[in-house]
Amino acid sequence: MADPFPPRGRDLRLDFFRGLSLFFIFVDHIPDNFLGWFTLRSIAFSDAAEVFIFISGYTAALVYGRSLRQHGAFFATAQIYRRVWQLYVAHIFLFVIFTAEVSYTILTVNNPMYAEETRVADFLQEPHIAILKALTLQFQPAFLDILPLYIVLLGVFPVVLLALERGPLWGLLPSAALYALTLRRGWALPAYPEGVWFFNPLAWQFLFVIGASAGHARVSGRWPFPRGPWLQQAAVVVSAFLILINVSWLIHWLYEPVPAILAKQLLSHTIDKTNLAPLRLINFLALALATIYFVKPESAFLRWRIAAPVILCGQHSLYVFCLGIVLAVLGHFVLAEFYGELPMQLLVNIFGFAVMIGTAAMLAWYKTAGSARPPGASVPATPSE
């Protein structure tokens, strides 16, 4: 089997699936959204978060790995930290929106029936601490938890990159060890006012580093993982089996007489999203391998018109990702405050998709217009990080 990611040309699959995961993250972040039935989490134990983190690791290694070789470690680190800063600013922006939303809804509701629920606004009693904790990423209100993870993962990425540059195992083995120890010892990062980080970086770093190792292979030319048709065929079988299980569970929750296959045995191993439960990781890796088995870089559907907006979003993932979260928070607010029935849900989803695609198109336009290339010039061969 050849390297699943060919070294030459832009691999549109990365853009497409990252774009798709951005749409899924937007949809899944709106509670009670009927479209949420049709995202990855309905057919797999893993969901769009795994896809996003893996591809982000992959492209980060690809882009900054090349930068490291061309311009040196200092420049690559500076580039990475420019990204980290952008993510940080986005996080603070989201925090302000969240605070506005909580103050507005909870303080205006003020119904004693929900006395316990309104405790979510307790942080307003001590804003001097809450704001500091938001600045240090320890305060992660509901729905705003994936950005802090991404910030931390990119923050330590220069070290990971230098390790990968020495050899893939220098990156992978410590990462795997940290993951295993985290699961075994129950290590977690404390959050404010209590609890832990929803996405535990100590566990999720493993998936990011796996993605980075695969991406770095395109810089170094050394593929660090086993390869062979048997592996991909096995992945297809595992994926199909896990999809069958998930669909049976889904139907079971909707219509009880249909049995939930292996639910008693597997359920408790799938709940722990915080620590990237091994079953979620296995499910994601199987799906990823099965996907590259079925979808080749030259697959025709990647050039269909309907795929173009998804690819466009995947190519500008940082902005579209942050925007997706903001839109989900606003969309949810609209659904909760005014009207939440199906037509409105549809409208909120369509509006969200349109704004995400429109923004990606605008960013693409900035890039091409700004770089003063003649119209029709070829796109750069490197995917954007």
Partner 1 sequence: MPPRTLVFAALLAAVPLPAAAARDCGVPPELLVTEDLQLPLTAQRMRDKQPVTIVAIGGASTAGTAAANPEQEAYPRRLEEDLRRRHPDVPISVVNKGVARQTTQDMTDRFPTDVYPLAPTLVVWETGTADAVRSLDVDVFATALEAGLTDLRNHKLDIVLINMQYSRNTASVINFEPYLEAMQHTADVDDVYLFRRFEMMKYWSENGVFNFTDIPKEQRAPLAAQVYECLAERLADAIEHAIR
To the nearest whole angstrom, how small is the minimum distance from the Cβ of residue 135 to partner 1?
19
Interface stretch with partner 1, choices 2-10, 236-244, 335-343, 355-363 (CB under 8 A)? 335-343
Q: Does 341 bind partner 1 (CB under 8 A)?
A: yes
Using the rule CB under 8 A, which residue among 194, 221, 371, 372 binds partner 1? 194
Radius of gyration of the chain (CA): 21
Q: Does 279 bind partner 1 (CB under 8 A)?
A: no
Return the residue matching tokens 């998709």: 353
Q: Does 263 bind partner 1 (CB under 8 A)?
A: yes
From residue 245, how far is each of 282, 286, 335 by CA, in Å? 14, 14, 32
> Considering beta carbons, is residue 136 or 268 the nearer one to partner 1?
268
To the nearest whole angstrom, how small is the minimum distance from the Cβ of residue 77 to partner 1?
33
Q: How far apart are CA 75 and CA 321, in angstroms?
A: 25
To the nearest whole angstrom, how small is the minimum distance from the Cβ of residue 238 to partner 1?
22
From residue 58, how far is each of 143, 217, 220, 287 by CA, in Å? 25, 9, 13, 16
Interface stretch with partner 1, choices 7-15, 74-82, 255-263, 303-311 (CB under 8 A)? 255-263
To the nearest whole angstrom, how small is the minimum distance from the Cβ of residue 297 to partner 1?
36
Q: Does 248 bind partner 1 (CB under 8 A)?
A: no
Using the rule CB under 8 A, which residue among 185, 256, 374, 381 binds partner 1? 256
To the nearest whole angstrom, how small is the minimum distance from the Cβ of residue 328 to partner 1?
11
To the nearest whole angstrom, how small is the minimum distance from the Cβ of residue 336 to partner 1?
3
> Considering beta carbons, is residue 112 or 226 the nearer one to partner 1?
112
HEC sequence for the chain: CCCCCCCCCCCHHHHHHHHHHHHHHHHHCCCCCHHHHHCHHHCCCCCHHHHHHHHHHHHHHHHHHHHHHHHCHHHHHHHHHHHHHHHHHHHHHHHHHHHHHHHHHHHHHCCHHHCCHHHHHHHHHCHHHHHHHHHCCCECCCCCCHHHHHHHHHHCHHHHHHHHHHCHHHHHHHHHHHHHHHHHHCCCCECECCCECCCCHHHHHHHHHHHHHHHHHHHHCCCCCCCCHHHHHHHHHHHHHHHHHHHHHHHHHHCCCCCCCCHHHHHHHCCCCCCCCHHHHHHHHHHHHHHHHHCCCCCHHHHCCCHHHHHHHHHCHHHHHHHHHHHHHHHHHHHHHCCCCHHHHHHHHHHHHHHHHHHHHHHHHHHHHHCCCCCCCCCCCCCCC
Number of residues that bind partner 1 (CB under 8 A): 51
Binding mask 38-77 for partner 1 (x = CB under 8 A): ----------------------------------------
Interface stretch with partner 1, choices 164-172, 192-200, 310-318, 371-379 (CB under 8 A)? 192-200
Q: Does 344 bind partner 1 (CB under 8 A)?
A: no
Binding mask 124-143 for partner 1 (x = CB under 8 A): ----------------xxxx
To the nearest whole angstrom, how small is the minimum distance from the Cβ of residue 110 to partner 1?
9
To the nearest whole angstrom, how small is the minimum distance from the Cβ of residue 182 to partner 1?
13
Binding mask 88-107 for partner 1 (x = CB under 8 A): ----------x--xx--xx-
To the nearest whole angstrom, how small is the minimum distance from the Cβ of residue 289 to partner 1?
27
Query: What angle (nearest 5°) sits at the alpha carbon of residue 146, between those of residues 143 and 152?
Result: 145
Interface stretch with partner 1, choices 66-74, 213-221, 234-242, 272-280 (CB under 8 A)? 272-280
Residues 19-38 binding partner 1 (CB under 8 A) are: 31-32
Give the CA-trace dihedral at 237, 241, 246, 249, to 10 degrees: 170
Q: Does 189 bind partner 1 (CB under 8 A)?
A: no
Name the residues that contact partner 1, by CB under 8 A: 31-32, 98, 101-102, 105-106, 109, 111-121, 140-143, 188, 191, 193-196, 198, 252-253, 256-257, 260, 263-264, 267-268, 271-275, 332-333, 335-337, 340-341
